[in-house]
Amino acid sequence: MKTIIFAHPWHGSFNKAILDSVTGKYDEMKEKYMLIDLNKDGFNPVMTEEELALYSQGKSIDPLVEKYQEILKKTDELVLIFPIWWSSMPAILKGFFDKTMVKGFAYEDSKTGITGLLNNIKTAKIITTAGAPKFIMKILGFGLTMKMAVLGGIGIKKSKWIHFSVKVGNSDEKRKKFLEKVQKFVSN
């Protein structure tokens, strides 16, 4: 099953158009998928002292974390859709990784650092938007960090990334072409 994680608060955004493009393509292909809309779910990304005390035990007191973990156990492909703000993922998505990817569930300690445990997720597809072009995000190390450290750290060995540079004056035609690119990207 495919799982889409959407991290944008405004459903009038271009990110929402990307989400609609992805789900539309999956519906057309009759692909099974689950949607995790972090903002719509009301997910709290802040880790509390009580949650941190349970973290190394692989436990959580947040029922959404438990729900998300159950979904991830059944996932073979992950699709992440989010804007890049201040050269990073939005806080809600960072909190998702912080709180959901606990020891014993997403990774275990090893002699060389950590070993990912979510090997059922064979691929991840990352779709981002930002004011800066992709080459700037690469220079800043965003793609490498996301693919190698974040996703690689939890056991996802194969990931791909596409990006749309949101600029004032972008034409509807450019946005439409990117949405077509998104549909091809998720159908491969």
Closest CA to 132 of 143, 120, 146, 144: 143
Identify the pLDDT of residue 56.
86
Half-sphere exposure of 103 (CA within 13 A, CB side): 12
Give me the helices (H) in the chain, please.
14-29, 38-41, 49-55, 63-73, 91-100, 134-139, 142-144, 152-153, 172-187
Taken as a whole, the chain contains a residue count of 188
Closest CA to 7 of 32, 40, 34: 40
CB-based contacts of 105, cutoff 8 Å, min separation 6: 58, 69, 117
Task: Classify the C-alpha dihedral 64-65-69-75 as positive or negative.
Answer: positive
Write the burial class of residue 119 (CB in 10 Å: 0-12 exposed, 13-18 middle, 19+ buried).
exposed
Identify the pLDDT of residue 185.
98
Closest CA to 107 of 95, 119, 123: 119
Q: Are 152 and 113 in contact (CB under 8 A)?
A: no
Q: Are 72 and 100 in contact (CB under 8 A)?
A: yes
Kindly report the number of other CB atoms within 10 A of residue 158's CB atom: 13
The verdict on pTM exceeding 0.85 is: yes
**SS3 readout for 65-106:** HHHHHHHHHCCCEEEEEEECECCECCHHHHHHHHHHCCECCC
Beta bridge partners of 77: 2, 123
pLDDT in tens, the chain (188 residues): 999 999 999 999 999 999 999 999 999 999 999 999 999 999 999 999 999 999 989 999 999 999 999 999 999 999 999 999 999 999 999 999 999 999 999 999 999 899 999 999 999 999 999 999 999 999 999 999 999 999 999 999 999 999 999 876 778 999 999 999 999 999 98
